[in-house]
Chains A and B, each alone.
Chain A
Amino acid sequence: MSTRPQNTPSQETGAADTPRLPPRRRGLIWLGTNTCDGHIISFLNTYRPSIRDILEQEFTLYYCSFLLAAEGRRAMALMTLPERLREDFILVVEGTVPTAFGGRTAVVGKTHGRNLTALEAVKWLGARARHVVAAGTCAAYGGPYAAWPNPTGSLPVSAVLDRTVIKVPCCPVNPGWILETLRRLRRDDAVAVDGAGRPLFLYDATVHSLCERLPFFERAQFARGPGEPGCMYLVGCKGPVTRADCPRRRWNDQQSGWPVGTDSPCIGCTAPEFPDEVSPSFRHQTDIYTRLARVNLDQLGIGVGCFTLLAIGAHLALRILTGRIKIPALQKLAKTVASAVARRFS
């Protein structure tokens, strides 16, 4: 078992991915801010090629708090090493950048006896990196860690940096997406992005349009709860509004499942609106999050309906009272009520 495992670098990647420049490892700094570390775990789950080949052949990973052997001051020194070596590096940020409580809700380490907050680290590294990649929905758009009511005042990376940030959202990011983006940036290829800053070659199509269950949708064969075969549209699938190639690329392994493949709806985790504007995950209609409360669309409809009925009723009552509408019996009743009220409060 001491030999290399079954995952040698494979030939699966297309001709477009073969390096045109002489092979050169590029510096990489993987900075976790306020994060669940799910993105680095997901990146470690890459299987073609394996993470070992990536780290040995394609990138020099200077800093990644999850993989580093160094601790303390030595780790902090590695974070600034590419800058000191005057070497180009790609900065990958996973997690949001919190601003509440003086940024103390995400500290990446201590330097000179004081806390280095994620905000300071992202600004410092972001100003010096050749490319900045926001891995995951939190770093790209805020995601679950900036969800309503955003107790930590979290911001996406692009909100604190005055430069182009390539956004590779998902929760967690699919290893294939981040790897392909990094490979293009390593060669300094231009990465075309869509309106939300996502690479077009990954986020061009919606999950719905690539979904293996699209025929069920076209024949109106809908699942009526999670755990059923059929289209998950009525269960709350956000596939039609979510751009990703999950159905084609799948997760963890070509043989493994993906969310809809395991009879659960897509929750729209690559969408800039995730999670507030694409939740509840299991309902077709999403809720609206206001400053005061979460509003359900059904509630909103009933509220508006009640208000309209009340307004029409009040208008009618006033009209009868002022005699603009002449129904003698009702007028008499209204006058009796009005005089009773007047007597009560006189």
Chain B
Amino acid sequence: MHKITISPVTRANGVGTITVMLQGNRVVQARSETCIFRGFEITLKARDPWDAPYFTQRICGICSSFHAPASCHAIGAAAKVKIPSNGILLRNIITGLDLLQNHIRHFYLLALRDWVSPPRGYPFTGGYTRDFRLSEAHTAMFHEHYWLGVDHARLAHEALALVGGKAPHNHGIIPGWVSLLPNDEVLRTLEERIGRLKSFIEEVYLPDVLILKGFYPDYLHIDQTSENYLSFGLFAKPNGGWHFPPGATLSGRKEPVDFRVIRESVAFSWFSGEGGEIGAEDTVPDISRPGAYTFVKAPRYNGFACEGGPLARDRLGTRDVKEADSVMARHEARAREHCTRPGFWRTGSARSDPESGSANASPYPAPAGGWASLTRCEARSCITSTSRAGAYGDIRSSPRPRGTSRPAMTRDDPVR
């Protein structure tokens, strides 16, 4: 038996360790160890629910925006708050731009070093040395495109910050809505930046992936899985439905998502759980668990490991059979994702979405039940909820007060 250990596995959020046991040329055991634990499940307890979207974003600096709508959905469901259509569109803008940032960074910063011989000098020295198949001209081109990728990932964050305030860890997504009601100037700048991103993806990113695909055709057969896909839906439409619909496939058979069959396996993780699983129970770290080797839980859908991400969304959204999933198919799906749904770019320019009408003219309606209802799910403290309903609830239920004796704002902003 031969053992290969790669540690640290770099170019990822948090370094990991991969240990592979080989018998001859056959892998008999593989371990993915990630010794990173923050305990957000524990830290979030008893906090103000309004803090949750800001807090959960801090789990990951790369995909920060996506944790905010997730906790907002949870709070909204608990408080039965309906999100206004503008809020949905603006959330789509924020998360959509972060998605593009992720895609571009993933390919150029994280993945490219394994395919293309890195340039001389730090921090790119000491990488892999074998199986670089690109010509010198192509390699030089990819080196330039690496920095272009860095710049355009940054451009996506700059566009995001127009609505979200800053990136990573934006301030825009809050329970029930999005804080900014963008004016024409913001939307114009946003549109210009999205246009630049779009041309970069179509003229540089996608062709680059196709060039790699041409040089590495065998990677279309490496890492094929058993066609288990899962998506909870991405980019809600204001009038219901999704741009990327939710769904699940187990061994290629499509079915609607059943949330009751989702469990977190902790059989090999340092967490305590009956039968090696966690459902709705608390997360309790248990370093003495026998056989455990990682701090990462393994989510299971009906007992199966499922693939998420662009390829899964692509396969669940369309019915046409394409090549099987593989390393290269995932890269291609990621690069093509922005073209798979015609509505995707429309979510990026709120004004031109015919389903919503004018985004910057309609005020936010108050959520059903008022803002006070949001605080009722908090930590079972009756005193807080009553005192806060008096102090803040009635105020927040009318986000745009009219006819008050307050002097008019002097900011020369026609939209407001």
Residues of A within 8 A of B (CB): 1-7, 32, 34-42, 44-47, 50-52, 55-56, 60-72, 74-78, 98, 101-102, 104-110, 113, 115, 144-145, 147-152, 171-172, 216, 219, 221, 224-230, 251-253, 255-264, 267, 275, 279-283, 287, 293-294, 296, 298-299, 302
Contacts and interface: CB of A to CB of B under 8 A. Distances in A.
Given A75-B10, A109-B8, A252-B157, A38 B64 contact: yes
Interface of B: 5-15, 17, 35-39, 42-43, 46-48, 50-51, 54-55, 58-62, 64, 105, 109, 113, 118, 121-128, 141, 144-145, 147-148, 150-154, 157-169, 171-172, 174, 177-181, 186, 189, 200, 203-204, 270, 285, 287, 295, 364, 371, 379, 381, 383-384, 387-388, 391-392, 395-396, 399-401, 406-407, 409, 411, 413, 416
A61 B122 CA distance: 6
A216 B37 CA distance: 43
B166 A258 contact: yes
Given A61-B122, A109-B7, A283-B392, 10 more contacts: A38-B64, A50-B150, A102-B287, A151-B37, A228-B399, A275-B55, A283-B48, A298-B388, A299-B384, A299-B387
A4 B144 CA distance: 7
A26 to B, nearest CB: 12
Contacts, number: 317
30 contacts: A5-B148, A5-B152, A37-B13, A38-B60, A38-B62, A40-B61, A44-B153, A45-B158, A68-B123, A69-B125, A70-B10, A71-B8, A75-B126, A107-B36, A108-B15, A109-B15, A109-B17, A225-B396, A227-B179, A227-B364, A229-B409, A257-B163, A264-B171, A264-B172, A264-B174, A264-B179, A275-B55, A280-B51, A287-B48, A296-B383
Given A221-B407, A264-B171, A108 B165 contact: no
A5 B147 contact: yes
B399 A70 contact: no
A225 B123 contact: no
Contacts of B189: 255
Contact of A65 (B10, B145, B177): B10
Contact of B8 (A3, A75, A229): A75
B162 A107 contact: no
B10 to A, nearest CB: 4
A108 B166 contact: no
Given A172-B168, A280-B51, A296-B381, A44 B150 contact: yes
A61 B35 contact: no
A74 B43 contact: no
Nearest to A6: B151
Contact of A66 (B109, B169, B413): B109
Nearest to B207: A1
B15 A65 contact: yes
Given A70-B127, A263-B181, A279-B51, A252 B167 contact: yes
A251 B47 contact: no
A72 B5 contact: yes
A259 B168 contact: no
Contacts of A78: 122-123, 125-126
Contacts of A150: 43
B166 A69 contact: no
Contacts of A255: 158, 162, 189
A50 B150 CA distance: 9
Which of the listed residues B144, B166, B379 has the most CB atoms from chain A within 10 Å of its own CB?
B166
B381 to A, nearest CB: 7
Given A63-B123, A77-B126, A267-B171, A68 B37 contact: no
A136 B39 CA distance: 19
Contacts of A67: 11, 109, 123-124
Given A45-B154, A104-B35, A228-B400, A62 B58 contact: no
A65 B11 contact: yes
A3 B144 CA distance: 7
A107 B285 contact: no
A226 B179 CA distance: 6
Nearest to B390: A298
Contact of B61 (A38, A283, A296): A38
A80 to B, nearest CB: 12
Nearest to B43: A147
Contacts of B15: 32, 65, 107-109
Contacts of A109: 7-8, 15, 17
A241 to B, nearest CB: 17
B346 to A, nearest CB: 22
Contact of B51 (A35, A105, A281): A281
A283 B399 CA distance: 16
B43 A144 contact: yes
A32 B7 contact: no
Given A44-B153, A225-B396, A253-B161, A106 B35 contact: yes
Contacts of B159: 256
Contacts of B46: 293-294
A65 B12 CA distance: 8
Given A42-B61, A227-B181, A280 B383 contact: no
Given A38-B64, A228-B399, A251-B161, A281 B50 contact: yes
A199 to B, nearest CB: 20
B8 A256 contact: no
A76 B14 contact: no
Contacts of A34: 36-38
A38 B36 contact: no
A50 B151 contact: yes
Contacts of A7: 151
Given A7-B151, A227-B399, A152 B39 contact: yes
Contacts of B51: 275, 279-282
A107 B158 contact: no
B37 A105 contact: yes
The 3 A-B residue pairs with the shortest CB-CB distance in the complex, in nearest-first order: A38-B61, A69-B127, A151-B39
Contact of A4 (B109, B118, B147, B203): B147
A186 to B, nearest CB: 15
Contacts of A227: 177-181, 364, 399
Contacts of B178: 227
B151 A5 contact: yes
Contacts of B38: 34, 105, 145, 151-152
Given A259-B166, A267-B54, A229 B411 contact: yes
Contact of B6 (A39, A64, A72, A102): A72
A15 B203 CA distance: 39
B131 to A, nearest CB: 14
A258 B168 CA distance: 12
B366 to A, nearest CB: 10
A36 B126 contact: no
Nearest to B15: A65
A280 B10 CA distance: 36
